[in-house]
Amino acid sequence: MDIETITPAEARRRQQCGAVLIDVREIHERALGMAEGALGIARGELESAPAGSIPDRNTAVMLICEVGGRSLQAAKALLDAGYARVASVEGGTRCWQADGLPLVRPTGDHDFYDRYSRHLLLPEVGEAGQRKLQAARVAIVGAGGLGSPSAYYLAAAGVGSLVLADDDVVDRSNLQRQILHTDARIGMAKVESARIALSALNPNIAIDTLAERITSANVERLIGDADVVLDGGDNFAVRYLLNDACVKLGKPMVYGAVHRFHGQVSVFDAGRHRGEAPCYRCLFPQPPSPESAPNCSEAGVLGVLPGVIGMLQATEVIKLLLGIGEPLSGRLLHFDALGMQFRQTRLSADPACVVCAPGQAFPGYIDYEAFCSAR
């Protein structure tokens, strides 16, 4: 039997005469708007148990999706199930809207549905995932080269609460790579400059700032209620301190580092997965000497490089918050900007690690500046 296809205008006319219009798209798609008066029932749900939604097989049923393909398939399934009066809306919701027919959205925050519409289209995110991001809290240490792009994309993605920690002020030499800051804000505390930029991008998120140097005295206050910690620092002392605190508190740490034309990214999640996932100390039990690892002010850095690494860090944070994909835990991703090449190194948990070995009690915080300078 051929499936009847009808125009959106004809569907609207029949709807007003009592026919049932069913939107068979997924819930994350319907959140962006659906034909007025339509019932929202995902295709899979409708096909698996049509009688639960349409008890009478003689009911006049019209099916609509995004452009018409899924509604045709669902219509065939209903015909096969014994429904006699089934039609598919040609062109779907797109044509319905283009024809000027009434479209409705879920009640509530229209800014939410507009702002995150492209996330809502992704089944891996959808409304439920976006609500997870909205409820999440991420601590970002460093509002410089790595913290700038990371924070910018996390704010744009709708992470509901960001904590920024940096004790520095904006300098003209920062502007080549630290995209949160502007020439007009030279001399301003970086966290305040960052707050201005991020609030302008997404006024719906909360931004807490800490214009302090991270030490063992305040690190737990900074990251204690964070879901994920992002390492955007530029020195080894802070990185070891963050690592140890994250292991102690069971927080995943998204690591990033840049040097001249090269960058690295990884996820250290040993606090939640002892003996399985490595921590930063498993990779670097001892810090390198200052001579072998100069910072950006000494060795220089390609301006776009922190942008690449910071965006990769933001990607890992979002994956961790949503529980999707494969995080970089147990893998160190290397990026060579000049060769435009990525490669990765497998990392293993060190069974003798002084911080994250199974059964190892937390050894306490140390003088990290002395620990690093001793090298």
Question: Among 233, 237, 296, 275, which residue's Cα sits nearest to residue 253?
Answer: 233
- The terminus-to-terminus CA distance of the chain in angstroms comes to 80
CB of 238 within 8 A of CB of 218? Answer: no
Exactly one of 65, 246, 296, 356 is catalytic; name it: 296
Which helix or strand (DSSP H or E) is residue 162 part of? strand 161-165
Calpha distance 369→373 (Å, rounded): 6
Task: Please say if 282 is a catalytic residue.
Answer: no
SS3 (DSSP) at 44:
helix
State the DSSP string of 293-333: S--HHHH-B-TTHHHHHHHHHHHHHHHHHHT-S---BTEEE
Question: b/e for 275-310, b at 16 or more Cβ within 10 A?
Answer: eebbbbbbbeeebeeeeebeebeeeebbeebbbbbb
For the record, the structure tokens of 262 come out as 């090269």
What residues pair up with 207 in beta bridges, in sequence order? Answer: 162
Indicate which residues carry an active-site annotation. Answer: 296
